[in-house]
Structure 1
Amino acid sequence: MITNKFKLNSVLISMMLAAGTTAQAQQATDETEVINVTGIRGSLASAANIKRESTGVVDAITAEDIGKFPDTNLAESLQRITGVSIDRANNEGNQVTVRGFGPSFNLVTLNGRQMPNSSALASAGISRSFNFREIGSETVSAVEVHKTGRADINSGGIGATIDIQTGRPLAYGGFKAAGSLKGVIDTSVDTGSKVTPEVSAMVSNTFADDTFGVLFAVSHAARDSHTDRVGTQGGWATGYPGQENPDTSAIDTTRNPDLNTWRVPTVDLDAQDTERERQNAQLVLQWAPNDDITATFDYVLSRLDEKSTMNRTSFWFDNVQTGKADVNGTIINPARENDELNFWAWEYAYKTENDSVGLNLEWQASDSLSFDFDAHQSTSHANPGGLPAEVVTNLKNPFGDAAPVTIRADFSTDMPSVSYDDSALPGGAFNKANIEGDLYQERGYEIENTITQIQIDGRWENLDDGGLVAINFGYSNTVYEVDSDNIYSANFALGGDELDLTGLDLTFSPGDIGFEQRSTFSAAQFMDLVRSQDKYNPASHSRNGIEEDTNALYVSFDFDTDFNGMPFTANLGLRHETTDVTSYSVLKPTIGFNWITPLQMSAILADDEVTTILDGKYSHYLPSMNLSLEIQEDLVARFSYSNTIARSNIGSMFPATSLNLHRSGGPFKASEGNPNLLPYEAKNLDLSVEWYYDDASYISVGHFRKEVDNFIAIREEDRVIEGPSGLLTDPSVNPRGNCPEGTVADPIAACVSQPTDPVITWEFSVPQNIDSTEVNGWEFNVQHMFGETGFGAIANYTLVNETDVYNPYSLVNDFALTGLSDSANLVGFYEKEDFSIRVAYNWRDEFLLAGGNSPTFTEAYSQIDVSASYDINDTVSVFIDAINITDETTRRHGRFSNQIIDFEQYGARYNVGVRASF
């Protein structure tokens, strides 16, 4: 286990405590005007002022009033900014994409501090990407999106650095309080509460002649929801499920000359119910004993508790006997005899606990010299206690010639349909007498991600030397540490009479897409039967971790002068970073396989764990240049150039080898991490013009170009694997005895891998730094206030292009960038006296969600949201928010439109409540 090498020493702690306690102050080089905003127009005026006065290209959203951020979800607010688009999870904004660069390419900070992230679901992996669902918006005063690099900003964001700023008691001054109570009305709810509460409160006060301040904020949010889904799983791929001699006569050989065909293992009909609770709290203490010193302490807490139950009725094509390809190569009518229907139940249950403690000291050492010292330790802990976060269980019809079911699917259109012949089963496939157990899987992560960071910033100003007005300098040390425990248990041999289902409550309701009925049962109840009948296999654990220790130094120069009579400002800087990387894996290696069912071969693990530790190191010089020229009054031109980096996903850097798929007859798929991955490196160029023609009204046009090196992609190659007992072999190729038989806990010797069995050739996936790519685009934005009428409007559009576009007909797509898409917003509002209303339309074009040989594309999506409020008096207002009022759906597909992956429907959501401020 890697230990945290960085500790706050007693000298630093004593110095900070002597000065007082603190939180993070705003970056010293961002001297933006503070505006006391109220209302939509005031918020937009404040955001426009931040954009105009900032160094580089910065867009912002500010609160309309204390405790009143424009949207209840921060990601949904950010999507209103030009160049920013979002992913949605369960019909909520989840993660952001900036200028075509997805969540892992953007750095999210809280008051300038880098924040950790963790997730318990195996499907989510281990990512650096911040989850905006975990933070309520009630205590947020502003969010700034820094689209250009700067020496004093932490590295890690190629797309942007997004800084979430929260309130400070000394900035508010005096007594302030705000609170809200609302009901969340989710029209999708099937089971659970259609109306759930959200409560928030904040109180801030200053004492001793405004030299000491306290702010405390708390919020609680609950939401129940329902999702209906039609889709597939396993990915559209060549060669799986197996099929001999498909009909390829319809393929267009001008586009697909190799007659490649793509098939998918399943067709699914899902219904999922979710309960989510979120708690946020913040405590801020500030002390300013004199005009030269301000000390702050803060503690930020968030808790996310999410539970879901899901039932799925599906086909699983273990192989495809017949099928015809369409013009592209998609097998559109797969069919198989002597098969079965599958009845699945899922249960998700996990928690995420986030805590951040910070100390900050601002010191005006002299009229010209100031310092800002900041230290924090922040932790994100997913699934504390290490229980499985996901439980998967399955029932099925008896398999084989004795009671065959013929299954067929139709993928000729965008919505699939199924059909089946169950006439050989007396009573049919949905008769409980014809349903037996099949399998269970328990899986998930326990992850603890800790960031410990010290930052020291200095500013020497009032130089008045040839236009040089300030020199900025600083040092930071950031230790990024992740420890993960991958939990897995399974039993794939629960068919026939192996599991007594007498106590299982299995019911059916009307189906869809050709399934006569939907199945419903409890995964938890199924697991109770497994345990009570002694069919549970002990969970295996594999532990992985990484530690990145980064030291950074920077210096930058601020200039303010005239050029041919035009005001000219510049910030020129250089940042140097050195990162030491140590990664480890601890697991029991696979020594062979146990063939227990016609399809499943379970891995046989060694008795002893093996630990692998690898080290790496890299350094970067990151120059930046941000120039602005006021061509004439209110007309500003900008030029920016910078080098930035973004580090690879954590899960890609673990040294362990993972055996991801090992079924009888194949395919055999494995992957391993690469601890020596270098960060993505980007050279960024920005040109923009902004015209601030009236109060809170402006037009901006910007062009950006990003050249990205060290692009990380997956290389696939064929390998054999040497286990502790020799090469891994396949016992299913030449069957012995009555194999397959036995269980995971009680293997039959004849069904276990022998050295004389054929050696398995694995399809290995390895992340590597491959090559480079280029992204360029345009941003257009108009924000206009119609005089004093109370009406206003915002329209923006982002156009993004990449040199390496995913080719659906190619089997090699190394460089296609995920998240790349055009986007647009159109917002209209009216605000007069006590009443305000806003209508917001958001659109995002189709984008590549996941690459590789089985890609996922998210189709174009648009959504309309409406919000309105009425001030009863100076203190109390009532409001209503309507989200996704047209009940838009989300659809994802593979290489081609009819290769459906997900079609999800959520429904509209409404918030109705009352807000008060004092």
Structure 2
Amino acid sequence: MIGSIVPNRLPRMGGFHATVSLLAMTLASATAQAQTAPEASPPAQAAQAVQAQETSGATAPSGDQGQAVDTAPGTPSAADDIVVTGVRASLQSAQNIKRNATQIVDSIVAEDIGKLPDRNIAEALQRISGIQIQRAFGEGSTVAIRGLTQVRTELNGRDIFTASGSSNSLSLEDVPSELLAGIDVYKNPSADLIEDQLSGTINFRTRKPFDFDGAKASASVTNTYYDLARRSQPAASLLLSDRWQTGIGEIGILASASYQKTAFRQDTISTEPFYTLDPTNAGDAATLATLGRTGQTTTLPHGTGIGEVPGDRRRFGVDVSLQWRPTDTLEFTGEYFRNDYKLRSYGYSYFAYTSGVAITPLAGAPFTYAPNGDFQSGTFVDVPIGNNTSIGARHSVTTDYSLNGKWKPTDRLTITGDFQYVDSKTNNLNSIVGLSGTATTLTQDISGAIPSFQITSAAGLANPATYNYGFYLDDLNNSKGTDTVGRLDGEYRFDGGFLRSVKAGIRYADRANRTNDTGYRYTGLTGAAGNLRYVDLGDFFRGSANLFGDIQAFALPTVLDYDATRATLGVTTTPPYLPSGTNSETQKTYTGYIAAFFKADTLPVPIDGNVGVRVVRTKVAVAGNYQQIDLITAPDGTQSTAAPTFTPVSQSNDYTSVLPSLNLRAHLTERLQLRLAASKNISRPDFNQLNPTLTITEPGTAQIDQQHTTSTGNPYLKPMKSSNLDASIEWYFARTGSLSVAGFYKNISNYIQTVITPRTVTFTDGVTAVYDVTTYDNASKAKVKGAEIAYQQFFDFLPGALSGLGIQANATYVDSQAPSPASQGPVTQLSLEGLSKYNYNLIGIYEHGLISARAAYNWRSKYLVTTSANGTGNLPIFQRPSGQLDASITVNVTPHMSLTLNGTNLTNTVRRTYYGITTRPRDAIMSDRQIAGVARITF
């Protein structure tokens, strides 16, 4: 909801339309699904490409262990290799990974050191068929694979995550993409892949010193301009690597670092929940009479508002790896990976709304309605004003230590041991100062693409006399997660025959997470508001919104300093961490698997593949508290919080999962192959979904008429189970040319979905309030089916400079069926959250001579954001169809130096959401366009 506990605001814009237009017209090309790779020629990168093929197309599941597979018929041998570089090298490398993998895999490979096609990992992943992303503050933040968000994240085939109370996986916006050599997406499981995903596994690969033949150095500097924020921010990366022959064998050391600062601003126009008037209710009947709508279905919104939220991100990543090969049969790899991420969002939200309380129309004012009776325009009177200044900040640090050893005692036997320890910490701060007032009139018009509204008050919105203090809310929380993992794998290879190898392994993982949260502390404020600042909203929504003008708000510079905010408001303490604000989760898994790899190349149609089973024992324990916080009202009306009461809650569970899998590949011709796969998999509830902690805080007098929300987990959730069928036909007609079509079907039981249940709470002083409690439940069944098509090609047959033209295109169709929780309003049958039925990428590429350019357009159809969002009156939220254009052009000044110009969100996409049906808009969201200049050197 507009007035909920979420920071809101944004600064200025930029007038670089001419620059954007010139860039868009100049670029004949695009960022790519598989664009990015080594220099793919000399031994360094050639060795990396060979290693990728020998490891089933990516880093093998047990970490740095390589899994040798037989080369597909028709795969070019080293003898007939042609040296390629740049985008062609990246596409060829990614295509070879896909072609030679034993599962269905898609990849993105760094075209050069520190050069993934997009600086944000989620933005790069959206170029792969079957992947859809959601954005936060203008950047990709989360992904869904084939319509499902239950995605596993790995770093070099091992666990990686961001400590959080809300997720078990890595926050994709945290890691600088410059640290990565490539990303592999496994779309169907096999027995040797780690379980715990429904949709797929995303594996991030870093570089190792043995990837290069000798010394290697690379550096880049970047400056990016954000037009809505009107700010520029720098970025830089550095990689140094070398290897030597010594008296104790060959040793290699690689160190890389990346630093990024980014800015953003997000402008939002919101419309509050819609309520249908009930003619049997006396108040609603009177409203219908005032509107002249007696006997007609009529639905009114209960307010509107804006949020202007600027902010900044900082990413700092370090990766250091040491490799030692004492003999030809023994190799050790140790790696230290550290990622440090900071996010700060702040600003203003301003709104006029009544929440669940009836809103009063202005008698005699003109009103218009959609054919179904939904309000489209009109004027209301005496509407409460909310005016918040806020900040939200997150600081996450994840450190990964790993050690891998590979021993080949014979030519047939390979034994690999792997150890990993992950330590992750996150700290969060939220601080909100709320003011109140009353609008004389609120005039709304939501009939256009961008809603407009006007608010008037007796003294004027830019007059400090309009505002009183309302409340102060602050919340501190921190999370710490650790993971200790040990794994032992063995593979025995046979000479010839149908059975080519047998692989078996065991794995133990001990994962723990602990979150401490103060909960939102409410401090009631009274009297005329002070420490105000004039806020110029003239460039809000780039000046295209028809709004109410400028305002006064609590000073943002004060809110940016948490201590100064409390001092100004006379709040002398920080909210305490209480036992009731603590929850913990532990998860131990004991795993064993066996897989057989086979090949029948004497058949009329040669086949190969693998069959195996993975057995996992899972033990989970969670603990938390139910906490209730009452208010104490002094004789003068001042309110303060009472000591909380709490009740401990704990629950444990254990279960065994048997997960068989079969992957088949038929080589129809040397260039055409068919894949078939069948498997079972599980996805465990994440820690947030299991967390039993529930906090109920009594609303103050300034909030009593607002909508009250809270959230909790469900410690009784079961893991989701999926039975999967996959098929893919792939035609590799050139080194960088392919066409593939894939189909998939998933039958899911115990599907976890978000639900909202009302809960009435009566506090010690007799005050009663109704809370919408967001929680989770196991819906009985869900089904996901769909198809993907992907095509890429360079048009080398064209004459001269035109031979540099290329294209990548992919499209995905996903359909789902799942039971929906009860939902008010006209929409009760809902798809899975985050799933667009259709999405596509169209990427133009040009690479010839010194010039390399790309232009990528990504589009997705409407999707369900949530079944019932906080502040929506238990209504589902959908996002309308939207697309975005990104582009880049690179000039390779010398073989060792390049200059790049990147443009992001060149279409100035406005993302719009609505409540179930399009006549009920919710949010219109505008984010930055970005122009970045990059200078890169490599030796």
CA contact (8 A) 2:678 2:726 kept: yes
Aligned residue identity for 1:773: A
Query: For 1:154-206, what per-residue CA distance to the aligned partner results, in whole angstroms no more than 9, with x for missing partners?
Result: 1122111111111010121211111111211222224xxx3221110101100
Deviations 1:400-450 (A, max 9, x none): xxxx7233433344432223443xx3x434311232211121125311122
* Distance change in 2, residues 1:176/1:508 (3 Å): closer
Q: How far off its partner does 1:579 sit?
A: 0.8
What is the deviation of 1:704?
Answer: 0.7
Aligned to 1:348: 392
Are residue 800 (structure 1) and residue 814 (structure 2) matched?
yes
Return closer, same or farther for 1:651/1:798 CA change in 2, 3 Å cut-off: same
- Does residue 1:689 correspond to 2:720, yes or no? no
Change (3 A) 1:582 1:39: same
Q: Which runs of 5+ in 1 are unaligned?
A: 1-22, 120-124, 252-256, 721-727, 731-751
Give CA deviations for 1:83-140 in whole Å, capped at 9, x if unaligned.
11211222222221111112xx111101001111235xxxxx6123432221122231
Structure 2 counterparts to residues 883-902 of structure 1, below 5 A: 883-902=904-923
Could you tell me whether the CA contact under 8 Å between 1:847 and 1:859 is conserved in 2?
yes
1:899 Cα deviation after fit: 3.0
The equivalent position to 1:772 in structure 2, one of 759, 765, 781, is 781
Q: What does residue range 83-232 of structure 1 map to in structure 2 within 5 Å?
A: 83-102=130-149, 105-119=150-164, 126-190=166-230, 194-208=231-245, 211-232=250-271
Aligned counterparts, 1:278-317, within 5 A: 278-317=315-354
Q: Render the CA deviation track for 1:827-874: whole Å, top value 9, x for unaligned.
A: 121212322111211111111121133322222221112111122222
Q: The residue matched to 1:320 in structure 2 has which SS?
A: coil
**Per the alignment, do residues 830 and 812 of structure 1 end up closer, same or farther by CA in structure 2, a change over 3 Å counting?**
closer
Identify the residue that residue 13 of structure 1 maps to in structure 2: none
Match of 2:648 in 1: 611
Query: 1:485 corresponds to which letter in structure 2?
Result: N
Classify the secondary structure of the residue corresponding to 1:573: strand
Aligned twin of 1:531 = 567
Determine the structure 1 residue equivalent to 2:796: 787
- Please, which moves more after superposition, 703-712 or 133-142? 133-142
Q: CA contact under 8 A between 1:118 and 1:352: conserved in structure 2? A: yes
What letter matches 1:227 in structure 2?
Q
Q: Distance in 2 between matches of 1:82 and 1:718?
A: 40
Structure-2 separation of matches of 1:332 and 1:267: 13
Counterpart CA distance in 1 for 2:552 and 2:96 is 57
In the alignment, structure 1 residue 360 sits paired with structure 2 residue 381:
no
Q: In structure 2, the residue corresponding to 1:76 is in which secondary structure?
A: helix
Q: 1:358, CA displacement in angstroms?
A: 0.8
Partner of 1:644: 681
Residues 509, 557 of structure 1: CA spacing in aligned structure 2 closer, same or farther, 3 A cutoff? Answer: closer
SS in 1 for 2:606: strand
Equivalent in the alignment of 1:515:
548
Match of 2:621 in 1: 582
Which residue is equivalent to 1:557? 596
Report the residue type matching 1:566 in the other structure. Answer: V
Cα 1:70–1:411 change in 2 (3 A) is closer
Name which of 909, 914, 929 aligns with 1:908. 929
Shift of 1:667: 6.0
Q: Sequence identity, in percent?
A: 24
Corresponding residue for 1:825?
A: 841
Report the Cα offset of residue 355 of structure 1.
Answer: 0.8
Structure 2 residue 509 is the aligned partner of structure 1 residue 478: yes
> Match for 1:522: what amino acid?
A
Q: TM-score, with normalisation over the residues of structure 1? A: 0.84
**1: distance between equivalents of 2:290 and 2:184?**
52
Contact 2:277 2:297 in 1 (8 A): no
Give the partner amino acid of 1:687: A
Query: Per the alignment, do residues 321 and 311 of structure 1 end up closer, same or farther by CA in structure 2, a change over 3 Å counting?
Result: closer
Change (3 A) 1:111 1:599: farther
Partner of 2:806, secondary structure, is strand
SS at match of 2:178: coil
Q: Is the 8 A contact 1:320 1:336 kept in 2?
A: no
Alpha-carbon distance, 1:332 to partner: 4.5
SS in 1 for 2:261: strand
What secondary structure is seen at the aligned counterpart in 2 of 1:46? helix
User: Which position in structure 2 is the counterpart of 1:432?
Assistant: 464
- What does residue 418 of structure 1 align with? 453
**Is structure 2 residue 125 aligned with structure 1 residue 78?**
yes
Give the counterpart of 1:573 among 612, 632, 635: 612
Q: Could you tell me which runs of 5 or more consecutive residues in structure 2 were left unpaired when the two chains were aligned.
A: 1-61, 362-366, 798-802, 869-873
User: Aligned in 2, Cα 1:715/1:201: closer, same or farther, shift over 3 Å?
Assistant: closer
Aligned to 1:739: none
Matched residue, 2:312? 275
Distance 1:716 1:586 in 2: 20
Q: Check conservation: 2:600, 2:608, Cα contact below 8 A.
A: yes
Which amino acid is the alignment partner of residue 513 of structure 1? Answer: N
* Secondary structure of the structure 2 residue equivalent to 1:585: strand
Task: Work out which of the residue numbers 389, 395, 413 in structure 1 matches 2:429.
Answer: 389
Contact kept, 8 Å, 2:179 with 2:258, in 1: the verdict is: no
Query: SS of the counterpart of 1:907?
Result: coil
- Higher mean C-alpha displacement, 33-42 vs 781-790: 33-42
CA distance in 2, matches of 1:89, 1:533: 31
Q: Deviations over 1:688-717 (max 9, x none)?
A: 111111221111111111111101234555
SS of the residue corresponding to residue 208 of structure 1 reads strand
Sort the Cα spacing of 1:406 and 1:413 in 2 relative to 1 into closer, same or farther, 3 A: same
Match of residue 735 from structure 1: none
Which residue of 370, 373, 380 maps to 2:414?
A: 370
Give 2:441's aligned residue. 406
Give the direction of change, closer, same or farther, for the CA distance of 1:310–1:534 in structure 2 (3 Å limit). Answer: closer
Distance, in Å, in 2 between the alignment partners of 1:250 and 1:70 is: 58
The 5 A counterparts of 1:236-247 are 244-245=284-285
Paired with 1:373 and 1:695, the residues of 2 have a C-alpha distance of 35
Task: Rate the CA distance shift 1:439–1:651 in 2: closer, same or farther, 3 A.
Answer: same
Once the two structures are superposed, residues 575-598 of structure 1 have per-residue CA deviations (whole angstroms, 9 ceiling, x without a partner) of 1111111101146x3275556899
Aligned counterpart, 1:488: 519
Q: Secondary structure at the match of 2:668?
A: strand
Q: Distance in 2 between matches of 1:308 and 1:164?
A: 28
Alignment of 1:26-41 (within 5 A): 26-28=65-67, 38-41=85-88
Q: Structure 2 counterpart of 1:406, which letter?
A: T
After superposition, give the CA deviation of every residue in 1:609-667 in whole Å (9 maximum; x if it has no partner): 54322111122111111000011221101100111122223222112233378564786
CA gap of 1:101–1:546, structure 2 versus 1, over 3 A, is same
SS in 1 for 2:533: coil
Cα distance change on mapping 1:237 and 1:543 into 2, 3 Å: farther
| 1:556-608, Cα deviation, whole Å (9 max, x unpaired) | 11001136322210110101111111101146x3275556899999874446x
Tell me what 2:670 maps to: 633
Letter in 1 for 2:503: N
Judge conservation of contact 1:491–1:537 (CA < 8 Å) in 2.
no
**For 1:281 and 1:394, how far apart are their aligned partners in 2?**
40
Q: Secondary structure at the match of 2:519?
A: strand
Aligned length: 830
Aligned match of 1:855: 876
Between the aligned partners of 1:686 and 1:110, the Cα distance in structure 2 is 25
| Residue number among 663, 671, 676 corresponding to 2:716 in the alignment | 676
User: 2:762 & 2:214 partners in 1: Cα distance?
Assistant: 74
Question: Is the 2:393–2:430 contact (alpha carbons within 8 Å) kept by the matching residues of 1?
Answer: yes
Deviation at 1:43? 0.7
1:239 Cα deviation (Å)? 9.4
Aligned in 2, Cα 1:428/1:185: closer, same or farther, shift over 3 Å? closer
2:358 paired residue number:
320
